[in-house]
Amino acid sequence: MITPDGSCAVCFSITIPRLFPFCQALLISLLKGTIFIPMDNKRTLQTVFMFALFALLFVLILGMLHPFFTVILWTILLYIILNPLHHRCVSRLNAQKKLYEFRRHVLAGVFSVGTLIIIIGPLITIATLLVQQMLSFLHAVEDFINRNPDFLTSSEIGKSVLGFIDRFNLDFIDLNSTDLRTNLIKFIQQYSSRIVSTGATVLSSTGNFLVSVLFVTFALYFCFLDGRYLASLLAQAIPINPQYMSALMKKFAEITRHLFSGYILVALYQGFAAFIIMSIFRVQGSLLFAVILMFASFIPLFGAALVWLPMGIVICATDSLLKGILFLVLCGICVSFLDNFLRPMFLKDRIKVHPLVIFFAILGGLKVFGMNGLLLGPMIIILFFTVLDLLVNSEAAVPTEITDSAE
């Protein structure tokens, strides 16, 4: 009751301190079982409380690990890919000899550090050369437009280029402008400055990148040492049937290895082969086009031909017919034709998902997860179908079990 002299506030201040000891005593009584509650209700309360506590702790753990998501992801992927080779090397060590544990630790260190050196070194070199070639290519296009101001409006090739730009234009270039050449040059200059600023941003974040590399090396070292033990702990912690959990973890490892070998390695081979051929034919921006071809190789049906076929036609039209035909033949055999043998050899029908689904999974993964989505997208799709298959098989097994028990 509220009184003019403020007795409500006094009552409130007296009640609150007494309320907390009461709640504390009630909670202790519930835990000790001194307050009578029906057994079913008591178990329900305990179950709800434990699940609420588990959910709270799980959310807190996710929040703590979120900044290291990329580090953890690539550590797990590298461990899964390299674990068979590492296990083969460890199995050759004699566990009965002295210094076995020391040798095992040294081997884990060699694998973790060596893996990062093999990956990071070429990656930094390729990224640096790629930025240089992108800038050189854009400057070459700008010089060509300045030297041929009527190319886009008078020639058939120029009109085709305008049609292509109009098809994929996102209002960056005003094709209805009277001074189209100036508009295009302005766009190229803006894009060049954007590449330079992006490169400066990457250089400024080199410290963070090196820290991430150190974290990956550190985590990979302990995965090589105790990976099997950590995997068994994870399997026991997840409340899923052990048979299903074992099948899921086995499928996850298989998917990772087969995606890497059947898609990533084949794409890297195609990009490397295209880079060698383009360098032999002295194509300007060969590394840039090789990287574009590598990503185009994921497109079903056409794949890498979307890059090397128009390039060969341009060489035939602008340079030499014989040179262009030779370029097309080499790219057709060494880039696209060998893909028909390499991909089935690596996959061997282990990933029974249509390539179109894989393609859209890669695009969706890149959009949602960034570069991590290159592998995460297809893995999520294939794991979804794996879980669905396990659920269907488990549902189909129920009537059989009932029939057997009835007999």
pLDDT in tens, 233-286: 877 777 777 777 777 788 778 777 877 777 788 888 888 999 999 989 888 888
Average pLDDT over residues 298-307: 80
3-state secondary structure of 348: coil
pLDDT in tens, 195-228: 556 555 555 555 677 778 888 888 889 888 888 8
Find out whether 324 and 312 touch, Cβ atoms under 8 Å.
yes
AA letter at 351: I
Question: What's the sign of the alpha-carbon dihedral 202, 208, 211, 216?
Answer: negative
Angle between helix 69-91 and helix 100-147 axes, rounded to 10 deg: 130
pLDDT in tens, 342-397: 776 666 556 666 777 777 888 888 888 887 787 788 888 878 877 787 777 765 55
Residue 407 — very low, low, confident or very high, per pLDDT cuts 50/70/90?
very low
- What is d(CA 191, CA 134) in angstroms, rounded to the nearest whole number? 10
Residue 5 — very low, low, confident or very high, per pLDDT cuts 50/70/90?
very low
- What is d(CA 146, CA 182) in angstroms, rounded to the nearest whole number? 9
| pLDDT for residue 33 is more than 70 | no
pLDDT in tens, 167-176: 555 445 554 5
> Which pLDDT score is estimated for 276?
92
- What is d(CA 182, CA 20) in angstroms, rounded to the nearest whole number? 75
> Which pLDDT score is estimated for 398?
45
- What is d(CA 356, CA 298) in angstroms, rounded to the nearest whole number? 9
> Which pLDDT score is estimated for 277?
92
The Cα diameter of the chain in Å comes to 105
Nearest residue to 227 (alpha-carbon basis) of 386, 373, 78 = 78
pTM greater than 0.75 (yes/no):
no
> Which pLDDT score is estimated for 24?
53
- What is d(CA 394, CA 42) in angstroms, rounded to the nearest whole number? 32
Average pLDDT over residues 100-121: 86
- What is d(CA 219, CA 90) in angstroms, rounded to the nearest whole number? 18
Helix ranges restricted to H, 148-179: 151-154, 156-168
| pLDDT for residue 326 is more than 70 | yes
Find out whether 307 and 341 touch, Cβ atoms under 8 Å.
no
Mean pLDDT, the chain, rounded, equals: 73
- What is d(CA 267, CA 299) in angstroms, rounded to the nearest whole number? 11
Residue 181 — very low, low, confident or very high, per pLDDT cuts 50/70/90?
low
- What is d(CA 288, CA 358) in angstroms, rounded to the nearest whole number? 24
3-state secondary structure of 56: helix
> Which pLDDT score is estimated for 267?
86
Dihedral in degrees, nearest 10, Cα atoms 27, 31, 33, 37? 70
Find out whether 160 and 310 touch, Cβ atoms under 8 Å.
no
| Residue recorded with tokens 């659920």 | 391
Find out whether 94 and 100 touch, Cβ atoms under 8 Å.
yes
